[in-house]
Amino acid sequence: MRGSHAPGLVAAADDPDAIFAWSSTVIRDLDDASAFVREADADPSRSPYAIVDRATGEVLGSTSYYGIEPKHRTLVIGYTWLATRVQRTHVNSESKYLLLQHAFDVLGAVRVTWQVDERNARSRAAVLRLGAQEEGLLRKHRRRRDGSWRTTVLFSLLDDEWPATRDRLEKSIS
């Protein structure tokens, strides 16, 4: 992700209260988007990406790898958000397919995880639709923006499960 994506991120954040309800960040204007890009790029444990429409070049949201542990061949996919008009479309499946393909087939990951706020039913359902398995709860795992403690639902997809997931995702996005 680059600073040049900031204006597109503002446009994609078409309903900030809904999009960022479960996030530690909110993008309401160019200053917020620029800070989001700077902070994501400055975090050495994170590889952030803009989600961009291939046909138009329009920025549709953002996602990241983080918690990358090369020794254990694991990583987390998160910090994902999309413009409301592309939620529950091919965009999330296609972007996750590309991230998973790179994680398993290029980086040699054996385990990819997601960490979702237990109250975020939409994201939990989206991760399950990808083919991940729910593993359990991390209690008092993170602070929410409002200061309350978040319980996180942990999901994973393993390298052994990737071929079947890859085939299913390829069919769904073609």
Taking alpha carbons only, the member of 100, 104, 109, 7 closest to residue 52 is 7
Instruction: Specify the CATH number for 3-173; select among 3.40.50.150, 3.40.630.30, 3.40.50.700, 3.40.710.10.
Output: 3.40.630.30
Whole-Å CA distances, 5 to 28, 58, 93: 14, 9, 21
Q: Is residue 66 within 8 Å of residue 75, measured between CB atoms?
A: yes
Global pTM? 0.92
**Could you give the 3-state DSSP secondary structure of residue 112?**
strand
CA dist., res. 166 & res. 161, Å (int): 9
CA dist., res. 154 & res. 117, Å (int): 9
Q: Which helix (H) or strand (E) holds 26?
A: none
The pLDDT of residue 77 is: 98
C-alpha dihedral sign at 18, 76, 153, 171: positive
- Residue segments in the chain with a per-residue pLDDT below the cut of 70: none
* Ranges of each domain in the chain: 3-173
CA dist., res. 140 & res. 111, Å (int): 23
pLDDT in tens, 34-69: 999 999 999 999 999 999 999 999 999 999 999 999
The pLDDT of residue 41 is: 94
Contacts for 103 with CB less than 8 Å, ≥ 6 apart: 65, 75, 77, 109, 112
